[in-house]
């Protein structure tokens, strides 16, 4: 798949557009009832009366006014042939409500139940819970919006479903549903400004009613939505490739750290916990972490001063996906780094960092000088003649060590690995030459994953730029340039 989605877009500026509202090929949306108006007529025929917009509205507009002011708060001026509508004018708002917990189930009884943005996927929600006696529901193709922290996240319902108090359903009324979705996505950060509450930020139905949306003629809505939907489909395909490659990577690590590469003879060894018998290649040896490392320590326990230009302070949140994310880590002062920290809090290049509190077992290899770690991270210094840094990191992901981590954290709210226990854990170890070959195989898949992540980031940047251009009318779509996708047409 190419880096860019498979569509062509020819654009012209506002003063070059010829009758953007006319589209002889547009069809009546399939979900409309008999006798309803088609295309932009359904919008133009609707009165432009609305409540005062507050922070999200047009300054100075009162109910029933249409003063020709085309300014939208946070977006600027929009084309003269576009309408500016409050959300109640383009969608029916249905606030969610949580049903009794006794009606929840995981057996598929009743309607899919979505409580908040934790149930959201890429454009469509992911069902894990059902409700046998729903209180509030959303219809297929309704836009679902998170109204409790984080406020403004969006999905589209792909079937009739139950919605809890963390969501509202927006039923498109006279606008294309996908255009409504993208228009709200462009406005979500302004909606978040209306959120109130010290513990859980949330917005009310009254807050939603203050949201203004620029609304072009319906044919143009469909073309804008088609461009953005095409990019979203490319993003979704890339995400699927990443997920598949991650599964392959996990499978390789589990297989190669237990059985190696192309061995025909195996032996049984007993390892912790409780002398578990496992089969490993005959030439491999059983070792503990204490035997193959020079030291295992953890970082500072007291708060360190923050600085914009000092040394990196690596905590558990900065270690994921097999890497240390220095760009997201905080920093501490040079003075504190040199005077307040001991050597154990300052891991050397080649040390393996392991998250030992909270989310356990994430790893990364230190590849630069001048970092420090806090107590949520363990630092392991390998004996190079015994084990490489990269292979040591892989062993933490092996089935044996995963089982050890789980066995030492039964049903705990916040996980923890004790350094003394980690030192005693045993695992099978191949010769250094085979370690390097195993790492090379795993790295080749990881490189594929990183390439796809980079592609996804490029597509996300493309989508962001297109949203800014198209949803504000800064760039207008020429009639001949954009094919309306069937998926978009199905949403009105």
Q: Where are the domains of the chain?
A: 1-36+217-260+432-492, 41-216, 265-429
| Planar angle of CA 228, 229, 233, nearest 5 degrees | 120
The CATH architecture to which 1-36+217-260+432-492 belongs is Orthogonal Bundle (1.10)
Identical fold, 41-216 and 265-429:
yes
**Which pLDDT band, with edges at 50, 70 and 90, does 76 fall under?**
confident
Cβ-proximal residues to 56 (8 Å cutoff; 6+ apart), any chain: 73, 74, 187, 190, 191, 194, 210, 211, 212
Among residues 4, 32, 110, 94, which one has the least CA distance to residue 458? Answer: 4
Confirm if 228 and 475 have CB atoms less than 8 A apart: no
Who has greater pLDDT, 367 or 276?
367
CATH of 41-216 given 3.90.220.20, 3.40.50.1100, 3.40.50.2300, 3.40.50.2000: 3.90.220.20
**Which pLDDT band, with edges at 50, 70 and 90, does 195 fall under?**
low
Confirm if 253 and 394 have CB atoms less than 8 A apart: yes
* Most confident of the ranges 329-343, 393-407, 455-469: 455-469
Confirm if 296 and 377 have CB atoms less than 8 A apart: no
- Comparing 8-12, 159-163, 187-191, the range with the smallest average pLDDT is 8-12
pTM: 0.77
User: How large is the average pLDDT for residues 3-22?
Assistant: 43
Asked whether residue 221 carries a pLDDT value surpassing 90, the answer given is: yes
User: How large is the average pLDDT for residues 135-139?
Assistant: 95
What is the Cβ-side half-sphere exposure of residue 482, based on CA atoms within 13 angstroms?
28
User: How large is the average pLDDT for residues 131-159?
Assistant: 93
Element (H, E) at 427: strand 426-429
Place of tokens 């606008």: 175
Asked whether residue 213 carries a pLDDT value surpassing 70, the answer given is: yes
- Topology classification of domain 265-429: Adenine-n6-DNA-methyltransferase TaqI; Chain A, domain 2 (3.90.220)
Who has greater pLDDT, 50 or 200?
200
Who has greater pLDDT, 70 or 173?
173
**Which pLDDT band, with edges at 50, 70 and 90, does 74 fall under?**
low
Q: State the pLDDT at residue 341.
A: 87
220 backbone dihedrals φ, ψ, rounded to 5° = -75, -35
């Amino acid at each position: 798949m190419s880096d860019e989605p498979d569509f062509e877009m020819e654009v012209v500026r506002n003063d070059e557009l010829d009758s953007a509202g006319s589209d002889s090929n547009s069809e009546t949306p399939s979900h409309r009832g008999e006798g309803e108006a088609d295309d932009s007529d359904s919008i133009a025929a609707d009165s432009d009366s609305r409540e005062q917009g507050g922070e999200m509205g047009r300054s100075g507009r009162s109910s029933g006014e249409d003063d020709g002011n085309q300014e939208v708060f946070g977006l600027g001026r929009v084309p003269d042939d576009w309408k500016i509508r409050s959300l109640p004018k383009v969608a029916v708002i249905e606030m969610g409500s949580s049903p009794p917990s006794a009606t929840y189930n995981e057996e598929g009884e009743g309607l899919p139940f979505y409580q908040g943005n934790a149930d959201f996927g890429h454009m469509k929600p992911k069902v894990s819970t059902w409700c046998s006696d729903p209180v509030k529901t959303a219809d297929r193709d309704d836009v679902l919006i998170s109204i409790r922290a984080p406020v403004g996240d969006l999905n589209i319902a792909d079937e009739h479903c139950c919605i809890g108090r963390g969501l509202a359903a927006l039923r498109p009324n006279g606008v294309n549903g996908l255009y409504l979705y993208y228009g709200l996505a462009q406005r979500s950060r302004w909606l978040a400004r209306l959120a109130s509450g010290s513990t859980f930020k949330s917005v009310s139905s009254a807050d939603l009613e203050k949201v203004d949306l620029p609304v072009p003629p319906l044919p143009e809505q469909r073309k804008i939505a088609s461009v953005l939907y095409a990019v979203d489909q490319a993003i979704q395909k890339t995400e699927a490739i990443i997920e598949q490659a991650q599964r392959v990577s996990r499978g390789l690590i589990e297989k190669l750290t237990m059985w190696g590469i192309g061995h025909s003879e195996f032996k049984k060894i007993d390892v912790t916990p409780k002398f578990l018998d496992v089969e490993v290649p005959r030439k491999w040896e059983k070792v503990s972490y204490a035997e193959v490392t020079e030291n295992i320590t953890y970082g500072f326990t007291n708060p360190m001063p923050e600085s914009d230009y000092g040394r990196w302070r690596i905590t558990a949140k900065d270690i994921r996906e097999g890497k240390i994310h220095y760009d997201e880590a905080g920093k501490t002062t040079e003075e504190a780094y040199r005077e307040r920290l001991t050597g154990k809090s300052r891991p050397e290049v080649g040390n393996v960092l392991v998250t030992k509190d909270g989310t356990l077992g994430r790893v990364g290899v230190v590849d630069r000088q001048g970092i420090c770690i806090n107590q949520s991270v363990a630092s392991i210094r390998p004996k190079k003649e015994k084990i490489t840094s990269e292979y040591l990191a892989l062993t933490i992901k092996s089935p044996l060590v995963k089982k050890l981590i789980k066995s030492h954290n039964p049903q705990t709210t916040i996980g923890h690995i004790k350094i003394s226990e980690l030192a005693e854990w045993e695992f099978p170890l191949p010769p250094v030459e085979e370690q390097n070959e195993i790492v090379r195989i795993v790295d080749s898949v990881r490189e594929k994953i990183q390439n796809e992540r980079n592609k996804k980031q490029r597509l996300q940047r493309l989508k962001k730029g297109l949203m800014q251009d198209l949803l504000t009318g800064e760039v207008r779509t020429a009639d001949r340039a954009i094919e309306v996708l069937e998926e978009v047409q199905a949403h009105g």
